[in-house]
Chain A
Amino acid sequence: MLDNIALLGIAPLLNVQLLLDGLFIGAIFVLAAYGLALVWGVMNVKNLAQGDFVMMGGYIAFVMTKLGIHPIFGLPVAIVFMFGFGWVVYRVIIYRVVGKDLFTSLLATFGMAIVIQQLLNLIFSPDVMVAESGFAIRSYLGGMVTVADIKLISFLLAGVLATLVITFMKYSRMGQAIRATAQDPRAARVMGIDTERVYAFTFALNAAICGAAGVLISMIWVLQPFFGMTYSIRAFVIVTAAGLGNLPGVIIAGLGLGAVEQFAGFILGAELQQFTVVGLLVAILVWRQVQMSRHRQAVR
């Protein structure tokens, strides 16, 4: 472990490599986390199937490559398909969960996550898969830093997608309705907003964002039916660290988590990389609790 830290000191460009890799994957975490924050904030549903939506999107891109189409074109397909899927899931399951006690949504979506991952497992087998993009891998800074073109492209695409969603939320009629419902559903209903439709749209939008994230993951990382849970946990880490409705916070936390994970994987070894994410979640929760209790004492 100390050797690895020393190695980072000797070869500073290694840091650049790890940081870049972390930012590229972190951009995708941001998308999934933003979707979670949206659903959590608007309808108070904690979606543990978030990562499985991501995996579904990834497998859509994978199917496209099998059909001979470039996986990047999977992006619009995944967005449309997952939007419809999210809408159906809302109509069948989620709308019965909205407004129920907080644990219900957690468990119901956990059950959903199991169904989705097992169906993916049955259809695509538990092997690790990649949707080959076929782009070149380039070296920078005298060959010390290698970056695949596709990672750069997916980073840009993630940025574009995030900008689109934020613009949509800010200026469109539906976006305004969503924000109004998040602030006060009853008042929104009085103002003539069909909150039921807003909820359905929000959940579908979340699924679409996740689907898009999945397409990007399939090209720069790997797909496996059971990896969904780790993405759900990452999304939870980011949202609990950043807080609800704190968009800059989500972006910073997401990119930061990506980088931290890469560095932890390098320093502590690959078998502890998963632990870093989960351990970070626990640490953040405990830290927030300590802050809360301090606040409680101050009030007293």
Chain B
Amino acid sequence: MNTRLRRTLPFAGLVFAGIAAPFLFPDYTFQFTVLWVMILFALTWDILGGQMGYNSLGNIAFFGVGMYICAVVQIGLYYDVAQYTASYGAVKVEFTADQYFTGLAVGLIAAGLGAMVFSVILGWVVFGLRGPYFAIGTLGVALSAGELTGAWDYVGGGGGIALPIYPGEPDDRSLFFYVLSFTLTIILFFLLRWIYLGRFGLAANAIRDDEEKAEGMGIHTMRYKTVGWAIAAFFLGISGALFGNMIGFIEPLEVAFPTVTFGLFMVVMCLLGGRGTLWGPVIGATLFHTFKEVTWIYLLGWQWVALGALIVVSVVFFQQGIVGWVKEKWPEKFGIAVDDRALAETDPDLDEAPSQRLRRQTEAAQ
């Protein structure tokens, strides 16, 4: 087998698996849709978290923003949103097929663009925060977004919005959303593969390794961070819009801004698979989702405990992730030349005490 074929085989396999899945297991189409959304979560988180070393805990905010923008557009095109939400879904409003698909198409695009604009504005505010402060700050943004939406009556407040109903058979409906989320994730995957190979990937990794030096070398770090976050936000926004329509009912705390569930899952999936790699998020998301569903079925009641334990174990004991572990084990397969002496020189001082490190970092920050 020549190298070129061997390189493209996994990508073809991924696309093929995506196309074949709903035909082989038609009963699980909904689960597969969620799986593709999960993979999208992990991939978008990895743009900043893995490639640039900016660990955000609040990316889920874009998901919720997209979901709400789409809902408002879908309804607002044909009805008065305030009246619609005030009725709390008690008054059934009919949408014709034509209205539904037009609304959805416009809503999806608006969701992506709206989330992107939000990310740019937000990035301008929070990108000065470094390290754990960035993580806590973004977590705060996501939590407050949920709380604010819950207090905003125009979009239904804590009561949420019932979205237009899909005009057609239930089976068609699940296949329809499957195809949309699959296409979206595959587009994102190949887009990321392309940009990671180019200048963007190099700049991103430079920022991760040493932001001050990268800046010194003439990289516009702020521009790269903003672009990276905007890409993540665009896809998260669209996925949020899709997810909301698939569920059919949206609500601020559990569905739109689930900071401690989906918002945390995307980080853990990345860490589990191996951050800073292209395939890591895909593998991590697949395993994590499978684990989640299995525990949901066989450990009912204890599923959250099991999930929390998995998070602790994967973060504390298995930091490098699956792809990272494989890379460490067989580095030559990835074209990495191993030189133990060079490794010993570059490896950080393991004896360095936390407070020393803190001092060094604060000095560097100043």
Interface residue ranges, A against B (CB under 8 Å): 42-46, 93, 96-100, 102-104, 106-108, 110-115, 118-119, 121-122, 181-186, 195, 229, 233, 236, 240, 269, 271-272, 274-275, 278-279, 281-282, 285-286, 288-290, 292-293, 295-296, 299
Contact = CB atoms under 8 A, between A and B. Distances in A.
Contacts of A93: 312, 316
B304 A275 contact: no
Nearest to A283: B140
B144 A282 contact: yes
A100 B319 CA distance: 10
Interface stretch (B28-36, B99-107, B127-135): B127-135
Given A104-B315, A106-B132, A114 B304 contact: yes
B309 A115 contact: yes
Interface of B: 55, 57, 125-126, 128-129, 131-133, 135-137, 140-141, 143-144, 147-148, 150-151, 157-158, 260, 264, 267-268, 271, 301-302, 304-305, 307-312, 315-317, 319, 351-358, 365-366
Contacts of B301: 122
Contact of B260 (A107, A195, A229, A292): A229
Contact of A186 (B307, B316, B353, B365): B353
Contact of B271 (A107, A278, A281, A293): A107
Nearest to A111: B311
Contacts of A184: 353, 355-356
B355 A271 contact: no
Contacts of A181: 355
Given A102-B132, A183-B355, A271-B158, A278 B316 contact: no
A292 B128 contact: yes
B316 A185 contact: no
Contacts of B144: 275, 278-279, 282
Given A44-B354, A103-B135, A185-B355, A115 B308 contact: yes
Contact of A282 (B141, B356, B358): B141
A184 B169 CA distance: 68
B132 A271 contact: no
A185 B354 contact: yes
B316 A118 contact: no
Nearest first, the 7 closest Cβ-Cβ pairs linking A and B are: A111-B311, A114-B308, A185-B353, A115-B308, A44-B354, A275-B147, A111-B312
B366 A299 contact: yes
Nearest to B148: A275
A279 B135 CA distance: 15
A185 B356 contact: yes
Nearest to B55: A103
Nearest to A186: B353
Nearest to B133: A285
23 contacts: A46-B132, A98-B354, A100-B319, A102-B132, A106-B135, A107-B271, A107-B315, A108-B315, A111-B308, A114-B264, A114-B305, A114-B307, A122-B305, A186-B353, A269-B151, A272-B147, A274-B147, A275-B151, A282-B141, A285-B126, A285-B140, A290-B128, A292-B365
